[in-house]
Chain A
Amino acid sequence: MTEKPHTVKSYEEQLQHLSNDLVIMGGNCELAFSNAIKAICKNDHALADDVINNDTVIDNFETQIEQEVVNLIALRQPMAIDLRETVTALKMSSDLERVGDLAKNIAKRTKLIKKKLPNELTESIERVGLLVQKQLKSVLDSYTNRSPDIAQDVWEKDEQVDDLTNNCMEEVIKYLKSDSENIEYGSHLLFVTKNIERIGDHLTNVAEQVYFLVNGTYLEGDRPKGSQSIVTGEK
């Protein structure tokens, strides 16, 4: 659905600005997350510092978007598609901010791991990391293209994320069992895995919001869940 421009140009510009800010914020999250995965896999502390420092940018974006949304509601009283646009922006920005926070947490834990990790472990983390990266990219694409189909795809693929995080979790548990020395690093890795899974969940939230933004209705039905839910503890 492509919309005609508003009669009031400044209103159109404000909405456009909001949307652009959200896309840039999403881009920053993408970068932060991919860097965080790289840092943990390669045990690259410099890169981890980078991620930690850049998180303020994402936080600032969130406050900025929040203000823009409040302004729009107060001054323009958006209706219908515009209303969904503004409300979605507010919710998406807070989800993306959480994504940024979780990436920063991964980077912080990276800095606490002082040695090279076994290959099976890093490969497993990398695998789930790449999938989540793809999900992040897709969900941002679905927003820029206002495509409910891509959003629904992302929403459904979260099952795979869950499966891969479960695998990853098993690897970490194996690593913990192998040596009592590994308990310190292993427990950090448990949180890293959990963080990746949380990021996946936030992305499904974003996907739901994009779907609502375009269609005005909610994605219905239960989201498919991974078969073994070690991470969430569900049976």
Chain B
Amino acid sequence: MNKIEAKNVNVFYGEKQALFDINMDIQEKQVTALIGPSGCGKSTFLRCLNRMNDVIDICKVEGEIKINDYNINQKATDVVRLREKIGMVFQKPNPFPKTLYENISYGPEIHGMAQSKDELDQIVEDSLKKAALWNEVKDRLNEPGTGLSGGQQQRLCIARAISVKPEVILMDEPCSALDPIATAQIEELIDELKKEHTIVIVTHSMSQAARVSQQTGFFHLGKLIEVGSTDMIFKNPNQQQTQDYITGRFG
């Protein structure tokens, strides 16, 4: 089932066009990887999905982006509600410089999701457990989140993102700052999370895309060159450009 449908999406940074007529369907409860060389527009596309491009004054997004058949790319969309439904994890782990507990409880608090302190405690515990971080941090919830290792920080950010029970989780190169062990832990986590969430992940590591995703989209120079099952993209892509990119013949 299609969770997200992008139709004729064009993005402009001032005069410069960053994305050209992107048409892409993203399947529910699957992992969709977006790959492509730097500056190809994959992150820009990702940020269209939760309207994070709104932050940039000169950025203009055209076209239809339907999530659950509702077009989010219109003025009337409430971005606060949208971002509650669509969480995001960034390239560099960016926990708030507050305690571990406050990092997780922030989202539920501002969205008024917990009636009592006990309920909030439960949400924090559940989120940390889902992010496979509970056992490592349960005794030091009042220590600053910035004191964790890079991999733990990134899992903390994932826990923070899932604390508001989003339907979709966007991940923008979540492992690019992590070592291979931490990367493997995040990948395992992604595998778990896809049971309940739709995940879109931008990655520079093709092997990572191949490992974690079921669908892969290849972007180049602002165009979506090819999208299809990860199997197909990595074994026998239809487009020469895709093949050149994934086999390392890009120049």
Say yes or no for A224: interface residue by CB 8 A criterion.
Answer: no
Report Cα–Cα, A79/B210, bound state, in Å.
Answer: 10
- Please tell me which one of the listed residues A1, A6, A77, A216 contacts residue B235 in the complex, with CB atoms under 8 A apart: A216
| Secondary structure dominating the interface of A | loop
Q: A84-B236, A216-B235, A216-B236 are in contact. Are A79 and B247 (CB under 8 A)?
A: yes
> 8 Å CB contacts to B: which residues of A36-81?
77-81
Q: Using a Cβ–Cβ cut-off of 8 Å, how many residues does chain B contribute to the interface with A?
A: 17
Say yes or no for A4: interface residue by CB 8 A criterion.
Answer: yes
Chain A interface size, under 10 / 10 to 19 / 20 to 34 / 35 or more:
10 to 19
B243 neighbours in A (Cβ, 8 Å): 3, 80-81
**Which B residue sits closest to A217, measured CB to CB?**
B236
Q: A6-B249, A11-B248 are in contact. Are A80 and B237 (CB under 8 A)?
A: yes
Nearest CB on B from A109, distance (A): 43
| Pairs across A and B, CB under 8 Å, 20 listed | A3-B243, A3-B249, A4-B251, A6-B247, A6-B248, A7-B249, A7-B251, A11-B248, A78-B247, A79-B234, A79-B235, A79-B247, A80-B236, A80-B237, A80-B242, A83-B234, A83-B235, A84-B235, A216-B235, A217-B236
**Which B residue sits closest to A83, measured CB to CB?**
B235
Say yes or no for B24: interface residue by CB 8 A criterion.
Answer: no
- B binding-site residues for A, Cβ under 8 Å: 206-207, 210, 234-237, 240, 242-244, 246-251
- A binding-site residues for B, Cβ under 8 Å: 1, 3-8, 11, 77-84, 216-217
A83 neighbours in B (Cβ, 8 Å): 234-235
Report Cα–Cα, A5/B246, bound state, in Å.
Answer: 13
Report Cα–Cα, A79/B249, bound state, in Å.
Answer: 11
A7 neighbours in B (Cβ, 8 Å): 248-251
B249–A5 CB distance below 8 A: yes
A216 neighbours in B (Cβ, 8 Å): 235-236
A80–B235 CB distance below 8 A: yes
Nearest CB on B from A74, distance (A): 13
Report Cα–Cα, A5/B248, bound state, in Å.
Answer: 9
Report Cα–Cα, A4/B240, bound state, in Å.
Answer: 10
Query: Among B237, B242, B246, B247, which residue has the most Cβ atoms of chain A within 10 A?
Result: B247
Nearest CB on A from B58, distance (A): 33
Q: A4-B251, A216-B236 are in contact. Are A80 and B246 (CB under 8 A)?
A: yes
